[in-house]
Amino acid sequence: MSQSTLRQAGPATSRPRRRGTRDATSGWVALLWLGPALLLIGGVVVFPAVALVKASLSEYSITGLRKGPAGLDNYRHVIEHPALGTVLRTTAIWVVAVVILTMLISLALAQFLSKQFVGRRFVRWAIIVPWAASLIITARLFTLLLDYYHGIANTLLVALPFVDQPVDFLGDDRFTLASIVAVGVFVSVPFVTYVLLAGLNAIPDDVYEAARIDGAGPWQVYRRITLPLLAPALSVSTVLSIIYVFNSFPVVYTLNDRNPGFSHDTTITWMYKLAFKSAEKDVGMSAAAGVFNVLLILAAVAVYLRVTRGATQENQA
C-alpha cells in the first residue's frame, strides 16, 4: 500500500518543477548538470571504444609493441581463423542454453519466493549468495567440486550403485560444455530471479481476485494474467542476461583452463587467448575479434527485441 502511494507521488511532484526550470535554464546550465555524466560516458564508453577500433587497425609485435597500421588485416585474420566456426557454435550454444535455462529456473523460483512461508527470508538470502560471490572464486570452486580424482561430485556419483567410473566433467568433450553451462546458470539465476520477483510483486492482487471470481483455474491465471503482466520484467532480464552471458569471461575461462586448443571457447575467452595465450599472441587481432563481438551482441539483442515485439503485438491483436 505505502509503496504504491510513494510511486505515484514521485512523478506528480516532479512534473511542475521540471516545467518551471525549463523556462529559466540556458543550454550551458543544462550542460553543467549533464557534465559529470557526459565525462563518465566519454571516459568509460567512448574512449575505450575508440582505442579498441584503433588497436584493431594496427599491427602489433608479440611483445605488445605497435609496429604500424595494419589496414583490415586483423579483421581478415579473424575471419580466416580455423577455429572461428567452433568458437561461434560454442558461443551460440552457451548463450542460448544459459539464458533459456536461467529464465525457466528463475521463473519457478520467483514464483515460489513470492509466496508467504516460514523461513522465506533465509531462502531469499541463500539464493542471492552465489550472485554476491566473485565469479572467479565460484568457478574455481566448481573446478574442485567437479575434479575427476578429488571432486565431491564424483565421490558421490561413484557411491551410487550403477556408476563405477568417475565422470570427467571438465575434460571429457561430451560433458565439458554442459558442465560450463550448468555453472553459468548457477551464477545467473539469482539476479534474474530477483528481477522477476520484483515484477511479480508489482502485479496488483485485485487482478487475481477478479480472475478468480470469474472462475479461472490456476494454469489459466498464470498464462493469461501473470505471464503477460510479467512481460516487461521478462524482456528486460532476458536482454540483460544475453549481454551478461555473452560477455561472461571468468566461468568459461576458469572451467576450461585445462583444455588445450579452442574447442570450448566462447568469443570472449577466444579473444583473450588470441591476445595473450595462443600462438597468435596478437593484440591487434584480438581487438578486431572484440569489435566483431560487440557487433554480434548488438545483433543478438536486436533480433531478440524484434522477435519478442512481434510476439507481444500478436498477443494483443
Partner 1 sequence: MARLTRTSVLVCTAALAVGLTACGGGTGASSNDADGKSGDAKTIKLVAAEYSSGTKAFWDKFATAYKAKTGNTLDVQVVSWTDIDQQSSTMIQNGNPPDILNLNAYASYAKDDLLYSADDVLSPAVKDDLIPAFVKSGTYNGKLYGMPDLSSARALFYNKKLFQQAGISAPPTTWADFEADAKKVSALGGGNVGYAMPLGPEESQAEFSIWLVNNGGDWKTDGKWSINSAKNVETLNFLKKLAVTDKVTQNNPGKTNRTDGAFALFGSGKAGMVVGFSPLSAELDKSKAVDYAVAPMPSADGSAPQTYGVTDYLMAFKKKGNQDAVKAFYDLYYQPDQVNTFIKAEGFLPVTKTGLTTFQSEKALAVYLQTLPNVHLTPTDDPGWDKVKLAVQQNLGSAVAPDGNPQKVLDALQQQAESGS
Binding site for partner 1 (CB under 8 A): 2-3, 55, 60-66, 143, 148-150, 166, 168, 170-172, 257-262, 273, 275-279, 281, 283
Nearer to partner 1, 114 or 235 (CB): 114
Nearer to partner 1, 76 or 277 (CB): 277
Nearer to partner 1, 171 or 228 (CB): 171
Q: How far is the CB of 49 from partner 1 (least distance, A)?
A: 17
Nearer to partner 1, 102 or 266 (CB): 266
Q: How far is the CB of 200 from partner 1 (least distance, A)?
A: 14
- The string of DSSP codes covering 20-84 is HHHHH--HHHHHHHHHHHHHHHIIIIIHHHHHHHHHHTEEE-TTS-EEEE-TTHHHHHHHH-TTH
Nearer to partner 1, 149 or 162 (CB): 149
d(CA 315, CA 75): 42
Q: How far is the CB of 144 from partner 1 (least distance, A)?
A: 9
Q: How far is the CB of 150 from partner 1 (least distance, A)?
A: 7
Q: How far is the CB of 170 from partner 1 (least distance, A)?
A: 8
Residue 301's nearest CA partner among 231, 247, 229, 253 is 247
Q: How far apart are the first and last CA of the chain?
A: 33
Grid coordinates representing 166 are 568417475
Residues 6+ apart with CB under 8 A from 73: 59, 284
